[in-house]
Chain A
Amino acid sequence: MKAVSLGRFRVVIPEEDGGREALEAALPRRNSLRRAGDEARMAVAAAAMALSGEGQAVTERTGIYVGQQQGSLEGTAGFLEASHRDGPRLASPALFAESVANSTATHLSLTFGVRGSVQTFIGSRAAGIQAVAAAAEDLEEGVTDAALVVVVGVSSTLTRHAYESLHFPFARDRRPSTLAGRNGAAAFVARRGEGPATLRYANARCSGRGRRAVVAVRSLWEDSGAVAPRVLASVFSLARPSALSVLREGLGEGTELDPGPEDRGESFALDPFLLLARDAGRSPGPRLRAVACLGEEGTAGLLVVEGDPRGA
C-alpha cells in the first residue's frame, strides 16, 4: 500500500456536543437536507467540519466514501409503517428515497457538490474500515486526489429493540441485556503521501460467525505485518466476552488487547474510529495505533494508523 495521509478526524456525537440544536446549527443550509434523516444530518455536519478544517476545496477529483453498518433501517421501517397506515396508494416517495442505503452519500454529494466517485459500504461493523480501504485504493489508482471518508454509527430504537429482545446469541450467559446507543459520525479527508497521521493498513475479512471468525482475524493480523504491540478492540457490546475471546485468539498471545471502556455505548461501524481518536487523545505523538473490530454478523476488520488522527 502506498502512503495515504488521514486528515484530522472530526467527530459529531449530538448527545455529547450540545444535542440536536447544535447539530442543526452545524449543518450547511441546503433545501435537500430538509427531509434528511439523522444518519445524513450527522454525516453532513462532520463532513462540513472536516472539509473546512482542512481547507479542502471540492473538485471533480474529490471522492466520497461512506461506511455504515445498517443501510437505512429506520428509513425502511418508516416507509413501511406509513404505507401500512395510509395504504399503498398513499405511500410516500420522499420517505422511500430516504430509505435507500446510499441516501447519506447522496446528501453528502448534493451538499458539497462532489461529482467524482461516491461509494457506500454497508452490512458490517467493518464498513467504515472498508470505506477507508476503498478511499486508499482510489487515491493509489489516481482516480481521486482527495477522499472524504465519512463513517456513521446509528443505534436506532428499532435496532436496540431487536438486539435486546434476542438475548444476544453470542453472549455466554444469555441474560437479557441493554444496548446503550451512541449515535454519531466521523469524517476526515484522506490524501496521497505521508501526514501527521498515515494509514498503514485497512482491510476486512469474513470466515463465518462465532469462533469461525478466528481465521479471519488471524489472517488480517498476519497480512498487516502485525506491527503494533497493542491493539484496540471494537466488538459488539452485547457479545463482548465471546467476541473479545475470538480477537485474542486471532491476534495471538504476544499481542496486548485493549478492550476500551465497557460503558462507552454502541456505535457500530463508528466505534473503531472513536476508539482511535480517544487513544490518540490519551497518548498523543507519532506511534502505531491498531484497532481490530469484530461484528456480530461475522466480519472482522483491522485498521492501522501511524501518528495522531486528531491532527495535532
Chain B
Amino acid sequence: MSAPERVVVTGMGLATALGFGPDDHVPALREGRSAAAPITRFDTSGFRTSTGGQCDEARLAESLESRWPRARLRGLDVDTRLLLWGVAEALEDAGLRASGLPGPLPAVLGTTLEGIRQGERWYAEVLGRGLRRARMRRLLNATSGAQFATIAELLGLPLEPACVSNACATGVSAVGRLFRRIRRGAAEVGLAGGYDCLTRFIHLGFDSLGALTPAVCAPFDRARSGFFIGDGAGVLVLESLGRARRRGARILGEIAGYGESADGVHPTHPDPEGGGIARAVAQCLESAGLGPDAVDYVNAHGTATPANDAAESKGLLRALGEDAGRRVPVSSTKALVGHTLGAAGAVEQCFCILALDRGFLPVQANLTDPDPACPLSFVRDPRGTPRAALNTSLGFGGANGVLLSRRWEEARR
C-alpha cells in the first residue's frame, strides 16, 4: 500500500462581515475587532436581538461585476454571490484555470441554508400577493444544486459536486471529506468549503432558541449570552503535495488530520460532558499522527452559549489531557465575524491557515471574566508563531468535526 499523499492548501477565498480576502481579515484577527452591527437586511421589530454580521454587498457586487457582466449576475442572491466569489477567488489565488484542470473538479461545498434568501422572498410574496402570484422560480433557485450549476456555468468549470449539510459542523466536514479523498489518492486537487448568509429565517430561529446575544458575543466569558449570525464563505483549494510542487504552486499550509463524531445525545444541545468532541479530536490527532503536545493553537467552535463553551472546554481537556489542554492557546473567532453556520468551519479553517502562514494568534475578543467552567488558556496577545492548529466545530444533532493543519515551513522539515 502506497504512503498517503500529503494535502496542502494552495488557494483561499474568504469573505465575511470583516471584508474580502486575507488582508481585510488579518488585522482584525490580531486586534480582536468585531464586525457585529445592527441588522439592516431585514426588519428585526419584535425580535429579542437585532445584531448581525452582514458583508458589504455593494463591494461584493463590484468585485463580481469586475469578473462577469452584470446581466449574468442578475437574480443571484447574497448567498450565491458569496459562494461564487469564494470559489472564483480561491481558484485565482491558487493560479488555477478551468482549461488547465484534468477533468471535472471535485467540489465539496457545504451549506445549512442553501439559497434560503430566495425562499424568504418567495414567502414574503405569498404574504403580500398570495400563493398563486408568488414567484415559484425563487424556490427552485434556492437549492444548492441550482447554486452549483450557476457556479459551473459562470466559471465554465465542470464540477464533481457534493453538498454536505451537517449543521454547524458543515464547513469542517466539507474540508475533511476532500482532505481524505486527496490523501487516499482518489483526487489530486479540488475545492472545499462552506457558505451561508444572515437571513430573517435563521436569525429568527436562533433567536427563538435563545442562542443569540442581546449584548456582545463573548465566548468563554462568565457572562456570555450567545452569538450573532454572520455572512460567510470560506473556500479552499486543496491539492496533493506532489501536484502542487509539480506546478510550482505557492503553499499556504498543510491539512494533516480530520476527525468526526456524533454525540447521539440531544437534537440541539451538545453532550454536556464533551464526549463527542473529545472523540473527534482524538480521531483527528490520530489521523495526523500527532500527539496533543504538538497542538499550539485551537480555533474553538466557541459559540458563547452557556452550553456549548462549557461542553467544548470539557471535550478539549478530555482529548488533549489536562496539562496540554490548559496550556494551549485557544480563541473563538465567532466574536469577530459571528456564527457563519455552514461556512463557519471553513471560514475558521481559513483563519487557522492565515495564523500559521503569517505567524500570529487570533485574539480572543470580548473576554473580560473567563468562566471557571472553561479552564482553558485564551489568546490575549497575537504574537506567536503557531505550527499546528486545531479547528473544532460542533453542530445541531451532535455533529462534530475537527481539522488539524500545520504551518508549511514547519511541516516541510
The answer to whether residues A219 and B103 also contact, given A137-B186, A140-B184, A297-B145 and a CB cut-off of 8 A, is yes
Task: State whether the Cβ of A204 lies closer than 8 Å to any Cβ in chain B.
Answer: yes
Let me know if B261 and A116 touch, CB within 8 A.
yes
Which of B147, B161, B165, B186 is the one whose CB lies under 8 Å from A204? B161
Of chain A, the residue at the smallest CB distance from B133 is A165
Q: How many Å lie between the Cα of A80 and that of B173 in the bound state?
A: 28
Which residues of the other chain, B, contact A297 by a CB distance below 8 angstroms? 140, 143, 145-146, 148-149
Q: Which 10 A-B pairs have the closest CB atoms?
A: A106-B397, A297-B145, A123-B144, A298-B149, A124-B145, A96-B205, A91-B208, A123-B163, A101-B165, A207-B158
Interface string of A285-304 (1 = CB under 8 A from B): 00000000001111100000
Contact A296 B140 (CB under 8 A): yes
B201 touches A79 (CB 8 A): yes
Any A CB within 8 A of the CB of B73: no
Nearest residue (CB) in A for B158 is A207
Residues of A within 8 A of B164 (CB): 119-121
Q: State whether the Cβ of A100 lies closer than 8 Å to any Cβ in chain B.
A: yes
Binding site for B on A (CB under 8 A): 32, 60, 64, 69-71, 73, 76-77, 79-80, 83-84, 87-89, 91-93, 96-97, 99-103, 105-107, 109-110, 113-125, 127, 130, 133-134, 137-138, 140-141, 143, 158-159, 161-163, 165-166, 203-209, 212, 215-216, 219, 223, 295-299
Separation of A221 and B137 alpha carbons in the complex (Å) = 31
Q: Taking CB as reference atom, which chain B residue is nearest A127?
A: B163
CB distance from B207 to the nearest CB of A (A): 7
* Residues of B close to A216: CB separation below 8 A: 104, 158
Chain A residues within an 8 Å CB radius of B127: 84
CB of B52, distance to nearest CB on chain A (Å): 15
Known: A165-B136, A297-B140. 8 other contacts (CB 8 A): A73-B139, A91-B208, A93-B210, A115-B262, A115-B264, A116-B262, A123-B165, A212-B153
* Residues in B whose Cβ lies below 8 Å from that of A203: 160
> Which parts of B241-295 form the interface with A (CB within 8 Å)?
260-268, 276, 279
> CA separation between A80 and B162, bound complex, in Å?
28
**Beta-carbon nearest neighbor of A138 in chain B:** B180
CA distance A240 to B44 in the complex (A): 43
- A212 nearest in chain B by CB position: B153
Contacts of B397 in A (CB 8 A): 100, 102-103, 105-106, 109-110, 118
Residue of A nearest to B136 (CB): A162
Question: Given that A79-B201, A115-B264, A123-B148 are contacting pairs, would A88 and B47 also be in contact in the complex, using a CB cutoff of 8 Å?
Answer: yes
Contact of B159 among A71, A166, A206 (CB under 8 A): A206
Known: A77-B123, A120-B165. A295 touches B145 (CB 8 A): yes
Q: Is the pair A166, B137 in contact by a Cβ cutoff of 8 Å?
A: yes
**Residue B317 is within 8 A (CB to CB) of chain A in the complex:** no
Q: Give Cα A106–Cα B112 distance, bound, in whole angstroms.
A: 14
Cα distance, A115 to B273, chains bound together (Å) = 14
Min CB–CB distance B199 → chain A (angstroms): 11
Tell me the nearest residue of chain B to A296, going by C-beta. B140
Q: How far is the CA of A89 from the CA of B49 in the complex (A)?
A: 10
Task: Give every chain A residue within 8 A of B120 (Cβ-Cβ).
Answer: 80
List of B residues within 8 angstroms of A298 by Cβ = 145-146, 148-149, 152
Interchain CB contact under 8 A, B163 and A121:
yes
Chain A contacts for B264, CB-based, 8 A:
109-110, 113-115
B46 within 8 A of A: yes
A219 touches B104 (CB 8 A): yes
A71 near B104 (CB under 8 angstroms)? no
B318 at the interface (CB under 8 A from A): no
Evaluate whether A93 and B149 lie within 8 angstroms (CB atoms) in the complex, with A32-B267, A88-B47, A219-B103 already known.
no
Instruction: Select B46's contact among A79, A88, A118, beta carbons within 8 Å.
Output: A88
B276, A88: Cβ atoms closer than 8 Å: no
One of B145, B209, B261, B276 near A93 (C-beta < 8 A): B209
B166 touches A119 (CB 8 A): yes
Given contacts A105-B397, A205-B159, contact A162 B184 (CB under 8 A): no
A residues near B206, Cβ cutoff 8 Å: 96
Docked pose: A30 CA to B71 CA in angstroms = 52
Indicate whether B395 reaches chain A with its CB closer than 8 angstroms.
yes
Q: Does B413 belong to the interface (CB within 8 Å)?
A: no
Report chain A residues within 8 Å CB of B279.
Answer: 60, 115
Interface 0/1 of B141-184, CB less than 8 Å to A: 00111111100110000111111111100000100010011001
Question: What residues on A are CB-neighbors of B262 within 8 Å?
Answer: 64, 109, 114-118
For B283, give the chain A residue with the smallest CB separation. A143
A110 to B165 CA separation, bound complex (whole angstroms): 17
Asked whether any CB of chain A lies closer than 8 Å to the CB of B116, the reply is yes
Residues in chain A near residue B307, CB distance under 8 A? none
Contact A80 B123 (CB under 8 A): yes
Complex A-B: 28 CB contacts under 8 Å? A69-B145, A73-B119, A76-B119, A88-B46, A88-B204, A89-B46, A89-B47, A93-B205, A93-B209, A99-B205, A102-B167, A102-B396, A105-B399, A106-B397, A106-B398, A109-B262, A114-B264, A115-B262, A120-B166, A123-B144, A123-B147, A123-B163, A124-B145, A137-B186, A140-B184, A159-B139, A206-B159, A298-B145
Smallest CB separation, B234 vs chain A (Å): 18
- A64–B261 Cα gap in the complex (Å)? 11
Verify if B114 is at the interface (C-beta below 8 Å from A): yes
Chain B residues, Cβ within 8 Å of A99 = 205
Q: How far is the CB of A57 from the nearest CB of chain B, in Å?
A: 15
Tell me, rounded to whole Å, the shortest Cβ–Cβ distance linking A207 to chain B.
4
Chain B residues near A118 (CB-CB < 8 A): 166, 260, 262, 397-399
Hey, which chain A residues are within 8 Å of B97, CB to CB?
none
Question: CA separation between A84 and B204, bound complex, in Å?
Answer: 11
Q: Is the Cβ of B140 less than 8 Å from the Cβ of A96?
A: no
Whose C-beta in chain A lies nearest to the C-beta of B123? A80
